[in-house]
Amino acid sequence: MSKLQQLIGVIAILSLPLFITSCKGIFGSKNNVSPTTGWDYNNPQNGGFEVAKGSEQETGPGLIFIEGGTFVMGQTIQDPMFDNDNSPRKVTVRSFYMDETEVTNLDYLEYLYWTQRVFGESYPEVYRKALPDTLVWRDRLAYNEPLTNLYLRHPAYQDYPVVGVSWIQAGNYCAWRSDRVNEMLLIRQGILDMDPDQKNEDNFNTEAYLAGQYDGLVNTPLQDLNPSGTGERRVRMEDGIMLPNYRLPSEAEWEYAAIGLRGEYENIASRRSYPWDGTQVRNTSDKKYYGGFNANFKRGRGDYMGLAGNLNDAADITAPVGTYPANDFGLYNMAANVAEWVQDVYRPLSHEDVSDFSPFRGNVFQSPLRDEEGYLAEKDSLGRIRYRDVTVDEAQGRTNYREANNINYLDGDNKTIIDRTVWPSDVNNESATVKMYEYGVTTLINDQARIYKGGSWKDGAYYLSPSVRRYLDESKSTDYIGFRCAMDRVGGPTKR
């Protein structure tokens, strides 16, 4: 090797750390300098393009992080009804958050109080529509009248799961909770002040605030780095301060979270009959609870709690949330206590039709309502941004959807009628969807049939399995169905 070659080699070696450092500098400073243009971020002298520092999503009040993954969704124990509506299939669920417990009476009373205080004077129907149906406790041949008067409001039942709430009411609660949490985040950051005098349309709504249609009591606004701006601005979603909406979990999310399998390397085929190990309803793995019931349910005809002095599950109806051991995700009462509403519209053949990634049936795609000039329409009388279904023209040319309402897609739409049962005269008849299930004649399945999961205090052991599917009209309520909220995970599937 010549001296020249040796010199070149030495220079190359000495230059290597500098090259590595330079590369690291380019990508490591992405919050300060653009790696594509070289322009500074957050610099008012060159236009003021703002970039927030990436951060871990804050866990909202009451939520538990559920790391997503692949699992076998569907039947795990023999179906005595022979419904054949839940064949096992492998699906993947994205990471998300879910309430640690069911929504309690106290939680719901807070919602009712706020609704009455803000809308009660001018829009009393808003409060009335939010009220649970306490008469669900009535039974023609039983004495349950005390429960109709006391279960929701007496302090002794504060920590018990709310019941008598329809799917629609549960969704409205989730929307209200989203706004209250985001409002408190802005107050905590010192951006807004507490405003107890909110009334009617002048109440904090996350979307209205982001759209500039709600101001609130401003304390310390964020600095606007745009040299053409006023020097102050409201919070944007890009700032990472506010959280995604609370919502009902999808059926797949609920089932995945209830089963609670985790930590088994590539053992996707592992399955559980219940949210705990084994096939028994008694605890056989935890010394603290050994031999006790893992949930409160109906053990047999007439047996809701066992013998005095030795109650089998220590609950006659519902029990306070968190009474029984949590599953492996840290979620309580994912079997029994109350069954729970999920987002999905019910179809018996969902295992054949829905996606294998984040499966869900019930999409109705919408866009914010705009005026003739293209500006966002004024919020409604309750302070909410108004929406409309997307039109066929707007979806024209798309490959991922062709219309707004996709509830019946591949199961109830005209194409399904043609594929599964030949009615040539109905090819272009919109009423053909009714013939798919003959609602009110041979079935109660329609576009308002919503799924609820899990057993309840009123059910036998079979219904404690997370795989079991049942449905009820979205406007109906019972004394054994409650709900819990979920929230999307932003960013990667694992917590840093």
Q: How confident is the model at residue 16 (pLDDT cuts 50, 70, 90)?
A: very low
The pLDDT of residue 303: 86
Confidence of residue 424 (pLDDT cuts 50, 70, 90): very low
- Is 251 exposed, middle or buried, given 0-12, 13-18 or 19+ CB atoms closer than 10 A? buried
Looking at 56-60, 83-87, 420-424, which range is the least confident one?
420-424
pLDDT given at position 477: 98
pLDDT, residue 26, reads 42
Positive or negative, the CA dihedral 46, 50, 53, 54 is negative
The Cα–Cα gap between 8 and 15 comes to: 10
On average, the pLDDT of the chain sits at 87
**Residue ranges, CATH 3.90.1580.10, the chain:** 63-362+447-488
Q: End-to-end alpha-carbon separation of the chain, Å?
A: 50
Residue 210 has pLDDT above 80, yes or no: yes
Q: What's residue 478's pLDDT?
A: 98
Of the pLDDT bands very low, low, confident and very high (cuts 50, 70, 90), residue 174 is very high
Better-predicted residue by pLDDT, 299 or 244 = 244
Cβ atoms of residues 177 and 62 within 8 Å:
no
Q: Over 90: is that where the pLDDT of 473 sits?
A: yes
pLDDT the model gives residue 351: 64
Q: What's at 112, amino acid-wise?
A: L
SS3 449: strand
| pLDDT of the residue at 307 | 82
Mean pLDDT is lowest, of 21-25, 183-187, 323-327, for 21-25
The CATH code of domain 63-362+447-488 reads: 3.90.1580.10
Q: pLDDT class for 243, splitting at 50, 70, 90?
A: very high
In terms of DSSP bridges, do strands 339-345 and 481-482 run parallel, antiparallel, or are they unpaired? parallel
Is the per-residue pLDDT at 436 higher than 90?
A: no
* Cα–Cα dist 87/100, whole Å: 28
The candidate with the shortest Cα–Cα distance to 34, out of 20, 45, 50, 21, is 50
pTM for this one?
0.89
